[in-house]
Structure 1
Amino acid sequence: MQRLAFHIVYPLLKLISILPFKLLYLLSDIVFVLMYTIFGYRKKVVRANLKLAFPEKTTKERNKIMRAFYRHLCDLIFEAIKSIHISEEKLKKRFKFENIEMIRDIENQNKSIVLMLSHYGNWEWIFIMQSFIKSRGYGVYKRLRNKHFDKLVRDIRAKFNTDLITTKETIEILTKSKLNNELSISGFISDQSPKPQKAYHWNEFMGVYVPVHTGAELLAKKFDSTVVFAAIDKVKRGHYVCRFETLASDPSEFDDYEITDQFLKLTEDQIKKKPEYYLWTHKRWKHRKKREI
Structure 2
Amino acid sequence: MLGIAHLPFPVLYGLAYGLYGLMAYVLRYRQRVVLENLRNSFPEKSEPQIRQISKDFYWHFAQVMVEMLKLAALPAAELRRRVRIHNPELISGAFAEGRTVLALGSHAGNWEWILPTGALEFPGRTYGVYKPLSNPFFEDFLLRLRTRTGAQLIPMRDTLRDLVKRRKEGRVLSMLTDQAAGPEDRPYWTQFLHQDTSFYSSADRLASQFNCPVVYVNITRRARGYYDLTIRPLHDGSTPLDKDAYVVTEAFARHLERDIQAAPASYLWTHRRWKHKRS
If the TM-score is normalised by the length of the shorter chain, which range does it land in?
A: over 0.9
More displaced, 129-138 or 234-243?
129-138
Q: Does 1:215 align with 2:226?
A: no
Could you state the TM-score of these two structures normalised by the residue count of structure 2?
Answer: 0.94
Check the 8 A contact 1:208/1:288 in 2, yes or no.
no
Could you state the TM-score of these two structures normalised by the residue count of structure 1?
Answer: 0.89
Q: Does 1:253 align with 2:240?
A: yes
Q: Does 1:280 align with 2:279?
A: no
Aligned-partner Cα distance in 1 for 2:98–2:39: 45
1:14-93 equivalence runs, <5 A = 14-93=2-81
Check the 8 A contact 1:199/1:211 in 2, yes or no.
no
Check the 8 A contact 2:95/2:169 in 1, yes or no.
no
Unaligned runs of 5+ residues in structure 1 are 1-12
Aligned partner of residue 120 in structure 1, secondary structure: coil
Aligned partner of residue 48 in structure 1, secondary structure: helix
Aligned-partner Cα distance in 1 for 2:188–2:89: 33
Aligned-partner Cα distance in 1 for 2:102–2:12: 33
Residue 170 of structure 1: CA displacement? 1.0
Residue 106 of structure 1: CA displacement? 2.4
Check the 8 A contact 2:101/2:171 in 1, yes or no.
yes
Aligned-partner Cα distance in 2 for 1:212–1:159: 29
Q: Does 1:126 align with 2:114?
A: yes
Aligned-partner Cα distance in 2 for 1:197–1:149: 26
Check the 8 A contact 2:98/2:169 in 1, yes or no.
no
Q: How many residues align?
A: 276
267 and 260 in structure 1: CA distance in 2 versus 1, 3 angstrom threshold = same
Residue 157 of structure 1: CA displacement? 2.3
Aligned-partner Cα distance in 2 for 1:137–1:104: 11
Aligned partner of residue 253 in structure 1, secondary structure: coil
Identify the match of residue 176 of structure 1 among 142, 165, 175: 165
Aligned-partner Cα distance in 2 for 1:243–1:109: 23
Aligned-partner Cα distance in 2 for 1:54–1:76: 23
CA-based RMSD: 1.6
Amino acid at match of 2:165: K
Check the 8 A contact 1:17/1:81 in 2, yes or no.
yes
Residue 286 of structure 1: CA displacement? 1.3
Aligned partner of residue 254 in structure 2, secondary structure: helix
Amino acid at match of 2:193: M
Identify the match of residue 129 of structure 2 among 137, 140, 143: 140
Residue 258 of structure 1: CA displacement? 1.1
Check the 8 A contact 1:110/1:183 in 2, yes or no.
yes
Amino acid at match of 2:247: E
Residue 289 of structure 1: CA displacement? 4.7
Unaligned runs of 5+ residues in structure 2 are none
Check the 8 A contact 1:193/1:285 in 2, yes or no.
yes
Give the match for residue 225 of structure 1.
Answer: 212
Check the 8 A contact 2:189/2:196 in 1, yes or no.
yes
Check the 8 A contact 2:109/2:220 in 1, yes or no.
yes
Amino acid at match of 1:205: F
Give the match for residue 9 of structure 1.
Answer: none
Give the match for residue 101 of structure 2.
Answer: 113
Aligned-partner Cα distance in 2 for 1:263–1:247: 7
Residue 23 of structure 1: CA displacement? 0.3
Cα deviation digits, residues 105-129 of structure 1 (max 9, x gap):
2223432200011111111101212
Amino acid at match of 2:80: K
Structure with higher helix content: 1
